[in-house]
Amino acid sequence: MLHKEKAGKTVMSYEPNDTLQPLSYPAPSTDINLPTYTGASSVTRFACLSMHGADRIHFLRLNASEVEAMRKILNMTWSRGIQEERDKHGAVEFKLKGLPWGGAEGKQTVQARQMLCGILEALYNLGWVIVSSTDVSKNSYEQDTIFLRYQYPAPPRCSWMSISFHKGDRLRLINAPEGVTQSIRHSFASMIQKDEWKDLEKDYRSYELKFQGYPWHYSNRESSISARVLLLQLLEVLEQNGFTLYVSVDQNRSWSDASRDIDT
């Protein structure tokens, strides 16, 4: 996931989906149980979100107003909606309709990435900034856990996009501005075998680049170096367009390693 800060401006960018409007975020709430051995002024709040199975997402240590904001963004960005909500050992669990983490292709996998991007954007606008994203379990039914730290006031709002890797040779740009897609296409022109818009429904469009060879499924040391050079060049192009890498997340769970996508 990447974001782009625009100094002095408030930006809520969700380029491919004209139906999404800026959220009205609740004011910071104090309904959090603080440890009895310290005062509120010395406590730094931490929280996390995690993805489980093919259709569940957990939020841990968010307060009631923040959970309501997450409920709202889930309904806005995942067209199939929420199937069930419950307490899961102290975490708030949302079970989504469909299989957002299930490794499906097409518009469902694009929308799943739009949804996660929207969640992280909403949390960021509430003051929750990512500390780390990591796999804390070797359980094959769990994906990465994202740890967040609360800051007040919240940082300036940004434009957001995501990039995902598919099938060993493809790179997909989701929510990317036209200028970014053209810059990347120009920068990698000699390496691209094919490029096209996928999922032509307006809300789920993504721009896919198919590279020559299989840069994400390399078999020797030289190819592994080449893949990393490609990624460094990609980061340079993104920085030139004002975007900074925010987090890398494994949000896809396929029960076949051969069919699994790489981190977003």
Q: Give the CATH number, domain containing residue 59.
A: 3.30.70
pLDDT score recorded for residue 4: 76
pLDDT score recorded for residue 8: 37
C-beta of residue 111 within 8 angstroms of C-beta of residue 14: no
pLDDT score recorded for residue 172: 92
Of 158, 180, 196, the one marking the end of a domain is 158
For residue 65, tell me if it sits in a domain: yes
The closest alpha carbon to 70, from 121, 114, 28, belongs to 121
- Say whether both 165 and 142 belong to one domain: no
pLDDT score recorded for residue 255: 44
- Say whether both 84 and 110 belong to one domain: yes
For residue 228, tell me if it sits in a domain: yes
Q: Which is it for strands 91-96 and 56-60: parallel, antiparallel or unpaired?
A: antiparallel
- Domain hosting residue 129, numbered range: 43-158
pLDDT score recorded for residue 37: 35
- Kindly report the CA angle at 53 between 78 and 218, in degrees rounded to 5? 95
pLDDT score recorded for residue 32: 45
The closest alpha carbon to 133, from 246, 26, 232, belongs to 246
For residue 259, tell me if it sits in a domain: no
CA within 13 Å, CB half, 208? 19
pLDDT score recorded for residue 35: 42
- Say whether both 226 and 143 belong to one domain: no
pLDDT score recorded for residue 205: 72
Count how many domains the chain has: 2
pLDDT score recorded for residue 167: 84
The closest alpha carbon to 203, from 72, 18, 75, 2, belongs to 18
CATH number of domain containing 212: 3.30.1360
- Say whether both 140 and 201 belong to one domain: no
pLDDT score recorded for residue 76: 94
Of 158, 176, 204, the one marking the end of a domain is 158
Which residues in the chain come in under a pLDDT of 50? 7-22, 25, 28-40, 255-260
